[in-house]
Amino acid sequence: MTRTAYLIEERDNPSSAYFLLPALTAAGCRVVRCGLGEVPHDLNGAVVVLARYVSPRWARAIARDRGRLSRLVYFMDDDVLDAAMWGGTPWRYRWKLWRLAARHRDWLQGQGAELWVSTPHLAAKYAAWGAQLIWPSAVAGAADGTIFFYHGTASHGPDIRWLRPVVGQVLQAAAELRFETVGGREVARFYRDLPGAWVVHPLSWPAYQLFAATGGRSVGLAPQVEGAFNRSRSYTKFFDITRSGAVGIYARGSACAAVVDDAVDGLVLPMEPALWARAIVELARDAARRERMLAWAREKAVLLSERAGQAYGELWRRRG
């Protein structure tokens, strides 16, 4: 019979990816991933694996049901149980380690928890506890072309907020996709509860050009919420998205839409979230279509640049 292993983690993290998921999968366990505040109703016969941290809610559940668990495991890949090892780390992080890890050390031993560790050093240090060394496994990288993105600045707040439910729908419908945007803490908080979404810290223009040139992006987004500020925007987003090697989805009525031929070198849609979500998934999954559209978009970018060059010449002739 397949055993159920509840993997308790603060969030999706490298510890789980490199160590715990491979180890539990290799053991034939059905892995159920739970947050620090999520406790299933029935733990009878289950394996409970605590990744680094012990929350009060899980501590209560384990103490209550310890006799019904088949195994209790605590895993650490840093020395989070010994406060003397935390020198040089920020005090907020030390408080977190004490609150969620170190102060539970005696309690874990009293509950008969197995200790799994990530290095020979930790195994030797905690040998008296019977520490078991767990070797890491390689993590498969995301395939090229799985990223859809919106790269804006602080002035794009309404568009970033408008996209939030769209991104949620896409990630729910297509687990293989990832979303990338740019912003500070406020934007990071806005998207942090969406697995598969990440927020890049704002970059200088030279750094952004290098960043945008990296591969893996498939669909670029350029929504435009109606507003006085947005009405003055140009179609530079078309250039940004095309330079990134992606095909764009642009808001109807925007400057970008005025230079894009719908379904040829991009998609032009009304600002309806369901339409955007469906179009993102369909376009991201159709590599052949994207390749054709990207080729046309690159030609369009050249034509637009040539048109601009002609306009520059006329501008200077008038001044002469």
The string of pLDDT tens digits covering residues 243-290 is: 999 999 999 999 999 999 999 999 999 999 999 999 999 999 999 999
Which CATH superfamily does the domain covering 147-307 fall into?
A: Glycogen Phosphorylase B; (3.40.50.2000)
CATH architecture classification, 4-133: 3-Layer(aba) Sandwich (3.40)
Given a cut of 80, whether residue 94 has pLDDT beyond it is: yes
Residue 207, SS3? helix
Output the CA–CA distances (angstroms, integers) from residue 109 to 12, 147, 238, in the order listed: 26, 44, 59
State which amino acid sits at residue 82: D
Q: What is the pLDDT of residues 42-65, one digit of tens each?
A: 889 999 999 999 999 999 999 999
> CB count, 10 Å around CB of 254?
22
Helix pair 287-319, 236-243: axis angle to 10 deg:
140
More confident residue, 119 or 1: 119
The model's confidence at residue 307, banded by pLDDT at 50, 70 and 90, is confident
Nearest to 218 by CA among 247, 196, 197: 247
Q: Which of 1-10, 64-73, 110-119, 151-160 is predicted least confidently?
A: 151-160
Which contiguous run of DSSP H or E holds residue 14?
helix 14-15
Q: Where in the chain is the domain with CATH 3.40.50.2000?
A: 147-307
The phi, psi pair for 313, rounded to 5°, reads -60, -45
